[in-house]
A and B are shown apart, each in its own frame.
Chain A
Amino acid sequence: EAQVTQNPRYLITVTGKKLTVTCSQNMNHEYMSWYRQDPGLGLRQIYYSMNVEVTDKGDVPEGYKVSRKEKRNFPLILESPSPNQTSLYFCASSLRGQKTTNYGYTFGSGTRLTVV
């Protein structure tokens, strides 16, 4: 089954304790992205990756890091989480055509993160 797998689904952590949310896709998609979803604000892009070793900032990258060492994996790293990073996080991947044509995302199941 074609899917994007995120782990963990739920995470409660304390301020300042480094954490990693994993994301893996089995569709051989070149493009992957991380979003956070907050009530009233919708989905906001954190980081994206066009291919292995190629990443760039989205609209809300502060406090986050990513890496893309393999095509299938795109982990999200919070080096020193703070309460304002409490949110619902989604990883997504998509097939891209020429000239950045976007065929739409497949989303992971989400990770609900609480930082206390």
Chain B
Amino acid sequence: QKEVEQNSGPLSVPEGAIASLNCTYSDRGSQSFFWYRQYSGKSPELIMFIYSNGDKEDGRFTAQLNKASQYVSLLIRDSQPSDSATYLCASSGGFKTIFGAGTRLFVKA
């Protein structure tokens, strides 16, 4: 069974700090990796995708991929209370996309 594992949290960080979210995946054939943000009662929203080993930065967000370790992470710099949400990690290989169960992030003002 192909899986994506995330710590369910909650991860609590103070406003202005860096939030670090991690996930691991089991399918070595995965080619694409994603981070989605989901506010309570809302649908998931794509915030980052990464295909190559290394870092990818977009504004306050940095995604990191290490295919050898089968590890994906998301860093959120200068965390804001509005970043409080559940963050879903996903991997895609072929035509299927598998999601982790999500990490709840709480940013304290």
What does the 1/0 interface line of B32-64 toward A look like (CB < 8 Å)? 101010000011111001010000000000000
A107 with B43, Cβ < 8 A, contacts A42-B100, A101-B31 known:
yes
Interface string of A15-49 (1 = CB under 8 A from B): 00000000000000001010100001111110010
Please give the distance in Å from B91's CB to the nearest CB on chain A.
Answer: 10
A58-B46 CB under 8 A given contacts A41-B101, A42-B88, A101-B51: no
- A33 neighbours in B (Cβ, 8 Å): 97
Residues of A within 8 A of B95 (CB): 31, 48, 50, 56, 100
Alpha-carbon distance between A40 and B9 when the two chains are bound, in angstroms: 12
Q: Chain A contact residues: over half helix, strand or loop, or mixed? A: strand
Give the number of residues in B that approach A within 8 Å (Cβ atoms). 25
Binary interface profile of B, 64-99, with partner A (CB < 8 Å = 1, else 0)? 000000000000000000000000101011111111
Listed residue (B31, B92, B100) with the most chain A CB atoms within 10 angstroms of its CB? B92
Give CA–CA (A76, B44) in the complex, Å. 19
- Please give me the residue from chain B that is nearest to A44 by CB atom: B99
Taking the complex as formed, is A108 at the interface, i.e. its CB lies under 8 A from any CB of chain B? yes
Q: Which of A42, A48, A109 is close to B101, meaning CB atoms less than 8 Å apart?
A: A42
Q: What chain B residues lie within 8 Å of A59 (beta carbons)?
A: 96, 98
B97 touches A105 (CB 8 A): yes
Known: A35-B99, A48-B96, A58-B96. 16 other contacts (CB 8 A): A33-B97, A40-B8, A42-B88, A42-B100, A43-B99, A44-B99, A59-B96, A90-B44, A101-B51, A102-B97, A104-B32, A105-B34, A105-B46, A105-B97, A108-B43, A109-B43
B residues near A, CB below 8 A? 8, 31-32, 34, 36, 42-46, 49, 51, 88, 90, 92-102
Binding site for B on A (CB under 8 A): 31, 33, 35, 40-45, 48, 50, 56, 58-59, 90, 100-110
Of all A-B residue pairs in the complex, the 9 with the closest CB atoms, nearest first, are: A42-B101, A43-B99, A107-B43, A104-B46, A102-B92, A102-B32, A104-B49, A42-B99, A107-B44
